[in-house]
Amino acid sequence: MNRIQFFVLTGLSRLVVLLLIGHIFLVRQTNFEQNRLAQAQQVINQGQAFQGNLKQLAERIYSDSQKTQDPGLQKLLERQQIKYTPAPESPNPTDGTVPSTPPSTH
């Protein structure tokens, strides 16, 4: 093996070692980011579930305060800065059917 081949082989070996170190670093970094993403997704999922539960609880507190005329329940919502306005009742549809289109003949 002459000197040029030796230097080429040494240089390529160093390049492979650098690429291996870079690969190890990138794999560890992506694993760390995947864990952070999984934790964030879990927090979002829990938040969505809690939001639904909070909305249902606010609806029940509001409806009970309207039924019993209890100002304490209304003040409870105000203290927690929960503003709940019931959805307006929509009128019932006339017959509930959807008009159909005639079949095409071509």
Give residue-wise pLDDT tens across range 74-96: 888 888 887 777 666 655 555 54
Q: Name the domain count of the chain.
A: 1
| 34 in a structural domain | yes
| 86 in a structural domain | no
| 90 in a structural domain | no
| 49 in a structural domain | yes
pLDDT of residue 43: 93
Q: Rounded to an integer, what distance in angstroms lies between the CA atom of residue 70 and that of residue 36?
A: 46
| 106 in a structural domain | no
| 88 in a structural domain | no
Q: List the structure tokens of 57.
A: 């609880």
| 93 in a structural domain | no
Q: Determine the structural domain holding residue 57 and report its residue range.
A: 3-79
pLDDT of residue 54: 86
| 56 in a structural domain | yes
Number of H helices, E strands in the chain: 2, 0
Q: Per-residue pLDDT averaged across 25-37, rounded? A: 97
Q: List the structure tokens of 41.
A: 């997704």
Higher pLDDT, 29 or 71: 29
Q: How does pLDDT run across 60-75, given as a tens digit for each residue?
A: 888 888 888 878 878 8
Q: In sequence order, which residues have a C-beta less than 8 Å from that of residue 61 and are 6 or more positions away?
A: 73, 76, 77, 84
